[in-house]
């Protein structure tokens, strides 16, 4: 089985401005789309609601609110995305109505105290050949997985996860035994960090779809090692192919 995996995918703000002026297919170049469609299943983390409803969540301590227009659905379909996770800290940025337009709901687990019993039970009880756990975990802009993330990854694998593919930090992290600690960012308009180099891009270009990182994973069911093949393609922004 071949999986395509992508990290944080934020289609609001400046990416949404691009979608208001250009067709959804213009966000990614042909190489990205081709690689995504090679997979039997493409899974990514959708770090925004897709809706025209709602208002920013009334939390004075929350600095960022992400909501994408309905055209974002066409972006995901163009890429061939089969599954988008929304269990992240931006799912309720525009309230319950916007979340319900995107997904029927999310589940929360405070991994800092260890995975709650229902989570490994759900992994162990899945009657399928392959179980992929894709958690949104740990602090942002930290180069290495923190201890509770490492512990949770071990618990997920022990419970029977075939692959653990995390996201949240906005930087790519290391790979352990069938664990991709962080897939980094796929597409967004986020600020860049000169040290962590989360999304290096020429300053003369608009910060839309500057770069994407993706994994294509060959995953057997016999317990052999996961074989990730990392790749980077330039996506397309207002200025043309990058």
Q: What is the DSSP letter of 125?
A: T
Q: Are 186 and 44 in contact (CB under 8 A)?
A: yes
Q: What is the DSSP letter of 131?
A: -
| pLDDT tens digits, 83-108 | 999 999 999 999 999 999 999 878 88
Give the burial string for 65-89 (b: 16+ CB within 10 Å, else e).
bbbbbebbbebbebbebeebbbbbe
CATH number of the domain encompassing residue 205:
3.60.21
| pLDDT tens digits, 14-56 | 999 999 999 999 999 898 899 899 999 999 999 999 999 999 9
Cα-flanking dihedrals φ and ψ of residue 51, to 5°? -170, 160
CA distances from 56 to 8, 37, 105 (A): 20, 34, 18
Q: Whole-angstrom distance between the N-terminal and C-terminal Cα of the chain?
A: 31
pLDDT cut 70: percent of the chain above it = 81
Segments forming the whole domain that contains residue 52: 2-241
Q: What is the pTM of this model?
A: 0.81
CA 220 to the chain's CA centroid: 23
Based on the structure, what is the number of domains in the chain? 1
Question: With 70 as the cut, is the pLDDT of residue 222 above it?
Answer: no
Q: Are 40 and 1 in contact (CB under 8 A)?
A: yes
Residues pairing with 217 in the sheet: 3, 228
């Amino acid at each position: 089985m071949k999986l395509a995996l992508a990290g944080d995918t934020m289609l609001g703000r400046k990416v949404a401005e691009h979608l208001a002026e250009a067709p959804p297919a213009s966000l990614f170049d042909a190489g990205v789309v081709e690689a995504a469609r090679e997979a039997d299943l493409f899974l990514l983390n959708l770090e925004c609601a897709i809706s025209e409803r709602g208002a920013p969540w009334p939390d004075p301590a929350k600095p960022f609110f992400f909501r994408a227009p309905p055209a974002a659905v066409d972006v995901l379909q163009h890429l061939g995305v089969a599954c988008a996770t929304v269990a992240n800290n931006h799912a309720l940025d525009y309230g319950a109505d916007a979340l319900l337009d995107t997904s029927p709901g999310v589940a929360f687990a405070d991994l800092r105290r260890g995975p709650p019993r229902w989570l490994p039970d759900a992994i162990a009880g899945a009657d399928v050949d392959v179980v992929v756990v894709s958690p949104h975990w740990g602090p942002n802009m930290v180069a290495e997985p923190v201890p509770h993330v490492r512990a949770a990854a071990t618990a997920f694998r022990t419970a029977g996860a075939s692959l653990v593919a995390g996201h949240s930090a906005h930087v790519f992290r290391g790979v352990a035994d069938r664990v991709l600690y962080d897939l980094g960012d796929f597409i967004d308009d986020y600020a860049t960090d000169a040290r962590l180099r989360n999304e290096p891009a020429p300053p003369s270009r608009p910060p839309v779809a500057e770069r994407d990182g993706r994994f294509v994973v060959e995953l057997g069911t016999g317990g052999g090692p996961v074989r990730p093949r990392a790749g980077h393609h330039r996506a397309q922004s207002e200025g043309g192919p990058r």
